[in-house]
Amino acid sequence: MSTSIKRIGTIDGIRGWSLFGILLANLLIFQYGIFGKDEIGYFNLSSTNLGFYYFTKIFIEGAFMPIFTFIFGYSLILMKKSLEGKQLKVKWHLFRRSIILIGLGLLHSIFLWEGDILFVYGIMGICLLPFVMRKPKTILIWVVLLFSLITAVSLVDSGEDFELTSEAKMTSYLNETMTIYSAGTYSEIKDHRLNKDPLELGSAEATLMLLLLPFLLSPMFLFGMYAAKMKWFLNPIKDKRKYLTGLLILIPIGLLLKSTPYLFDEINLEMLGGIVLPIGYICLFAFAYSKLPRTLTFFENVGKLSLTNYIMQTVICTFIFYGYGFGLFARLGVAAGVALGAVIFTCQIVVSTLYLKYFKQGPLEKLMRVGVYLRLRSAK
């Protein structure tokens, strides 16, 4: 007998909200490049734009991607329950889903933009398969262990500054990027993106970074899986006091930790802040949802079409900033970029809301579903 799992409005809402934060953070990459965003002195920003830059670095960057990661882990458990209800093989279907994400991520990064996350999510989806059937207690133990490991690494290396390239090589790379991204053709930009790299990493260093990546990303994925198994967010009104306590404690602490590299010379706890702040933001949204459920439902519509909206953000922003479009690379400014992000996301809210009045799934969500179930139609 087939059963369906009802969508959780809070989860769709948090997913949609996280896409707004991801867009604002990614606008630094769209405007200044994936390496240029961390070499902001090269671009001689005004004091206003510099203020917005630091605001984005502390409040936004590295805070919303973990939220999306948390929701990804949560959704894995929801999909697992749905598959069980339809008496389908759980791990095989989740594996196919991960393979599709890897494929979409490769296409995204090769043909559109270097800031792709889908490929990594696909890889992590495979790595997380052994945990799907585990008990909540087992997952929680792994969450605590991995969070503790990241905290220890953050504390030990908080004052270290690693040079991955020379200043001359980075400047040369940024000069070329400025010219090509602002005025180059699609082919020239694609070639630069795929073949130019200012970092001086040997094969051993690159391999080590790839091996460490799952350990750095796993905690938030697993935390989301644990939250789903414990049925968090099913009743925000009932748990609003817990969310209020969480946001009041975790957001200030997270912001302080994220600010350490800009406040102190020898202390950098930004990595740790990138764990604490997102959890605080999740509590913030859940609390807001308990107070204003109808007002915040527009985030749900964006979240239901998250894959399509994520790719559309890339298409829109690359056309605005790259030479084959309006060519505004490094010309708009961070402050105007934040305003642009708000306009783009508002448009996505409107379009998503209208689209869902006529269709149940977005085009890429439909493609994903067909690939996972290997049929054009599948039970809801």
Map residue 330 onto helix, strand or coil. coil
Residue type, 350: V
Confidence label for 136 from pLDDT (cuts 50, 70 and 90): very high
Residue 1 has pLDDT above 70, yes or no: no
Confidence label for 6 from pLDDT (cuts 50, 70 and 90): low
What is the C-alpha to C-alpha distance for residues 222 and 64, in angstroms, rounded to an integer?
A: 16
What pLDDT was estimated at residue 316? 98
Could you read off the pLDDT of 337-363 as tens digits, one per residue?
999 999 999 999 999 999 999 999 999
Residue that wins the pLDDT comparison between 124 and 152: 124
Residue 7 has pLDDT above 90, yes or no: no
What pLDDT was estimated at residue 200? 65
Using a 10 angstrom Cβ sphere, with 0-12 exposed, 13-18 middle and 19 or more buried, the burial of residue 159 is exposed
| Nearest partner of 253 among 227, 279, 234, 216, judged by Cα | 279
Q: For the chain, what are the domain ranges? A: 9-373
Q: Report helix, strand and coil shares of the chain as percent, to nearest 5.
A: 75, 0, 25
In terms of DSSP H, where are the helices of the chain? 9-32, 47-55, 65-85, 90-111, 118-127, 136-156, 167-183, 186-195, 203-229, 240-263, 270-291, 297-304, 306-321, 334-355, 363-373
What pLDDT was estimated at residue 206? 61
Instruction: Over range 300-318, report the average pLDDT.
Output: 97
Write out the DSSP string of 234-283.
S-TTTTHHHHHHHHHHHHHHHHHHHHHHHH-SS---HHHHHHHHHHHHHH
Rg (CA), the chain: 21
What pLDDT was estimated at residue 199? 81
Confidence label for 158 from pLDDT (cuts 50, 70 and 90): low
| Dihedral angle over CA of 15, 33, 214, 128, nearest 10 | 30
pTM over 0.85: yes
Could you read off the pLDDT of 260-274 as tens digits, one per residue?
988 887 788 888 899
Instruction: For residue 362, count other CB atoms closer than 10 A to its CB.
Output: 20
What is the C-alpha to C-alpha distance for residues 37 and 25, in angstroms, rounded to an integer?
A: 10
